[in-house]
Chains A and B, each alone.
Chain A
Amino acid sequence: MFFRRIRGLFSNDLAIDLGTANTLIYVRGRGIVLNEPSVVAIRQDHDGGRKTVVSVGEDAKAMLGRTPQNITAIRPLKDGVIADFTVTEKMLQYFIHKVHESRMIRPSPRVLVCVPCGSTQVERRAIKESAAGAGAREVYLIEEPMAAAIGAGLPVAEARGSMVLDIGGGTSEVGVISLNGIVYSQSARIGGDTFDDSIINYVRRNYGTFIGEATAERVKHSIGSAFPGSEVLEIEVKGRNLAEGMPRSFTLNSNEILEALQEPLSGIVSAVKIALEQTPPELGSDVAERGIVITGGGALLRDIDRLLAEETGLPVVIAEDPLTCVARGGGKALDMMDERGLDFFASE
């Protein structure tokens, strides 16, 4: 403990958005320094059965679905929470080292981790333990809607209701915030991964072809949209034809993807509608007057704001740089914590 404190003097405080799809790290005073996929590739030795980490992040993501028998590329987080504790710990350890790579001394930073508001106590404890195991001196947790709202620049301290919708890789979080607190929050286990799965299923059903997750994600990024647009985009993809067993190429258009995404999108829309129903009327009127703010990678889905605006009848706004909102919000919270905590931490 004591040595951790000493090492802490040589470490920067971090805010980590430990997401299902991507992990972002905000370093105090430096901004966002790491944005890598939450993927770890592990090699299992033939004889000893010992497991070693081969690569983490971008490199590991490139291996997804392309690994030999002795290597597995794992996404250790699922639905916004830890699915594989040990691998998550290794991944965090790697990332923390990476942002401190110039340091001679092993880092021991204070870490703020964003957690889904719907996560259970056990899941939160797991995240905390995992960060502590990765070398964090102290671990703080912040709920994602709050971090997203702060990161998006919403006036969270005011006595006015602000609604934020954070569509992440594994979960979508709706939160109504007023006076620095969450008035209502709801977490739906629908996110970018669900979109990918829907696309995979759609393609298999309608084209009799099996495509991988990486391809589905590429399709989503290129031509995915949430609302019928004026122009129809097309993309050529290759997959394994289930009848022939051979790789075949075919063309998908944006309307098909829109159709494929209907189910997860309606899940998100209904989560927002429920949140609006549950919001106290005063706060609801504030939200109606100013609108809903969307953050997270899901906000990049074309016309998702139009879909929500049509469905709810409220103005919908996409935050600037929505991918990094949560991490930036965590970073701001970290800064504020340090400012407020100066008198507490003066002895350090």
Chain B
Amino acid sequence: MDNDDNAQFAPSLMIDSADERTDSPGRQLRYARERRSLTLERVASDLRLSIAIVTALENDDYSGLPSPVFVSGYLNSYARLVGLDPAPLLAHYRGVRPTVELPVCGPALPKITTIRSSHLLMRLMSGAVILALTSGVTLWWINHRPQDAILPVAPQVMPTTPTAPAAPPAHSSAIPPDVMAPLPLPNRPAPPAIDAPVVPPTSAPLPAPSPPPAPSSEPRPQRGRDSGSLVADATAADATAIASAPPPPVVKKNREVAVSFKAPCWVDIRDASGRFKLIGEMRKGTRHVLAGEPPYSIIFGNATAVDMRVDGKVFDVRAQSRGNIARFKFDSTE
């Protein structure tokens, strides 16, 4: 029915609307509606809008209305319903509200702006992290490697002397006459046994440096005396020998250390000065005489395959090994 009305009234209304073109869209709509004797309720139900919205449209009060896309649509529908040309109304409306609010289109954004691993910033950051980690690990390795070599050695040197009772007689065999005499004095010379790595070479010609370390050495000789072991005597004997007879220590210092291999064995031997290094895998049957300055830091990868001789005497490498790897410090001057 509406359609018939549209057809009937449209031409005349078009003329009217041309006259009223300067009017606001709301007023034009109201005139058109009143001319067609339509009630607000009727228009509202035809447009499926609430009466409040239709009233607001007629009053050009857009503040309470939804976003412009809807208002344009309502104006369009209303104009068609009452037989007006929607175009000028919409143009007028756009003039009234030229700034169409842009929706905050964050919607797609969370999905889109996720930063990817291929992003330059991410690459730089991961590069920096990898660099930091690598340098950290390298520094740690450089700092800790020598200590690793030393740390296990210090405790292991101690047991070697007691566990090898064969050695002391060998040492002392040259010195027995002096053993008894310096016995009361071991308190002082004992320390060189501990500080031996550094002190002996320099202290050899001069017995003088041996007294200063005395205070720190006190506990040790006591233990030696309490236990009454031969070790203490032996070390004491060494010390006194150094003190009393300069020539023999020279002989001891130059003890020849030779290693030969019964099977392939990975080896890392370094002397104190760092000039002599024997590193790498040794083949079966190879023999090396250690040069450079003692003490040596020694690692044998296959301890059972090693035949280590000090001045031709067998040195028990296996006593130093854990598993099949021997890692110890050896001072050939002792």
Q: Answer whether A and B are interacting partners.
A: yes
The chain A residues found within 8 Å of chain B, CB to CB, are 1, 112, 140, 142, 146-147, 149-150, 152-157, 177, 180-181, 228-231, 289-291, 293, 305, 309, 313-320, 329, 332-333, 336-337, 340-341, 344, 347-348
Kindly list chain A residues whose C-beta atoms are within 8 Å of the C-beta of B106: 157, 180, 336, 340
Q: Tell whether B198 is near chain A: CB-to-CB under 8 Å.
A: no
Task: Determine the chain B residues whose CB is within 8 A of the CB of A177 once the complex forms.
Answer: 107
CB distance from B264 to the nearest CB of A (A): 48
Interface contact B67-A153, CB-CB below 8 Å: yes
Contact A337 to B69, CB < 8 A, known contacts A153-B103, A309-B48: no
- Which A residue sits closest to B90, measured CB to CB? A320
Contact B108 A317 (CB under 8 A): no
Pair B112/A150 contact, Cβ less than 8 Å: no
* Residues of A contacting B151 in the complex (Cβ-Cβ under 8 angstroms): none
Interface pair B103/A337, CB less than 8 Å apart: no
CA distance A146 to B108 in the complex (A): 8
B73 in the interface, Cβ–Cβ < 8 Å?
Answer: yes
Cross-chain contact B108 with A147 (CB below 8 angstroms)? yes
Given contact pairs A180-B107, A340-B106, enumerate 13 new A-B contacts (beta carbons under 8 Å).
Answer: A1-B118, A140-B111, A153-B101, A153-B102, A155-B67, A231-B7, A293-B69, A317-B69, A318-B73, A333-B109, A336-B104, A340-B109, A347-B124
Chain A residues, CB < 8 A from B3: 228-230
The answer to whether A315 and B47 touch across the interface, beta carbons within 8 angstroms, is yes
Whether A347 and B121, one on each chain, are in contact in the complex, defined by CB atoms closer than 8 angstroms, is yes
Q: How far is the CA of A333 from the CA of B113 in the complex (A)?
A: 10
- Interface code B34-59, partner A: CB below 8 Å = 1, 0 otherwise? 00000000000001111000000000
Q: Contacting B48 at CB < 8 Å: which of A142, A150, A314?
A: A314
- Tell me the bound Cα distance from A1 to B117 in angstroms: 14
Query: Does chain A have a CB within 8 A of B120?
Result: yes
- Pair B107/A153 contact, Cβ less than 8 Å: no
Q: Contact: A150 with B103, CB < 8 Å? A: yes
* Among all A-B residue pairs, the 7 with the closest Cβ atoms: A317-B73, A180-B107, A230-B3, A157-B104, A333-B108, A153-B69, A150-B105
| A119–B50 CA distance with the chains assembled, in angstroms | 37
Separation in Å of the B116 CB from the closest CB of chain A?
8
Residue of B nearest to A295 (CB): B69
Q: How far is the CA of A291 from the CA of B65 in the complex (A)?
A: 12
**Given A305-B77, A320-B72: A156 and B4 interface contact (C-beta under 8 Å):** no
Q: How many A-B residue pairs have CB under 8 A?
A: 124
**Contact, CB under 8 Å: A153 / B100:** yes
Q: How far is the CA of A260 from the CA of B71 in the complex (A)?
A: 33
Residues of A within 8 A of B101 (CB): 153, 155
B6 at the interface (CB under 8 A from A): yes
Contact B69 A150 (CB under 8 A): no
- B70–A317 touching, CB < 8 Å: yes
A177–B106 CA distance with the chains assembled, in angstroms: 12
User: In the complex, which of the residues A149, A318, A341 contacts B113, with contact meaning CB atoms closer than 8 Å?
Assistant: A341
- Interface hits, B1-34 → A, CB 8 Å: 3-4, 6-7
B207 beta carbon closer than 8 Å to chain A: no
Contact A315 B49, CB 8 Å, known A154-B69, A230-B7, A337-B113: yes
Across the interface, which residues of A come within 8 angstroms of B322, CB to CB? none
A320-B112 contact given A153-B102, A156-B107, A309-B48, CB 8 Å threshold: no
The B82-110 residues at the A interface (CB cut-off 8 A) are 100-110
- Which of A146, A231, A291 lies in contact with B107, CB distance below 8 A? A146
- Contacts known (A154-B69, A317-B73); A230 close to B6, Cβ less than 8 A: yes
Knowing A153-B68, A317-B70, say if A344 contacts B108 (CB, 8 Å).
no
**Contact A142–B112 (Cβ < 8 Å):** yes
**CB <8 Å contact, B66 and A290:** yes
22 chain-A/chain-B pairs, Cβ below 8 angstroms: A140-B112, A142-B112, A147-B108, A149-B103, A150-B108, A153-B67, A153-B68, A155-B66, A156-B104, A156-B107, A157-B104, A157-B105, A180-B110, A229-B3, A290-B66, A290-B70, A291-B48, A316-B48, A317-B77, A333-B109, A337-B112, A347-B120
Shortest CB-to-CB span from A151 to chain B, Å, is: 9
State whether B103 touches A157 (Cβ < 8 A). yes
Contact present for B73 and A154 (CB under 8 Å): no
- What are the residues of chain B within 8 A of A231 when measuring CB–CB? 7
CA distance A231 to B107 in the complex (A): 43
Cβ contact within 8 Å between B115 and A344: yes
List chain A residues, Cβ under 8 A from B107.
Answer: 146, 149-150, 156-157, 177, 180-181, 333
- Given known pairs A156-B103, A229-B3, the reply for A340 and B113 (CB within 8 Å) is yes
- Known: A146-B107, A337-B112. Contact between A319 and B69, CB under 8 A? yes
CA distance A117 to B69 in the complex (A): 23
**Cα distance A319–B74 when bound, in Å?**
11
B119 within 8 A of A: yes
Chain A residues with Cβ below 8 Å from B47 are 315
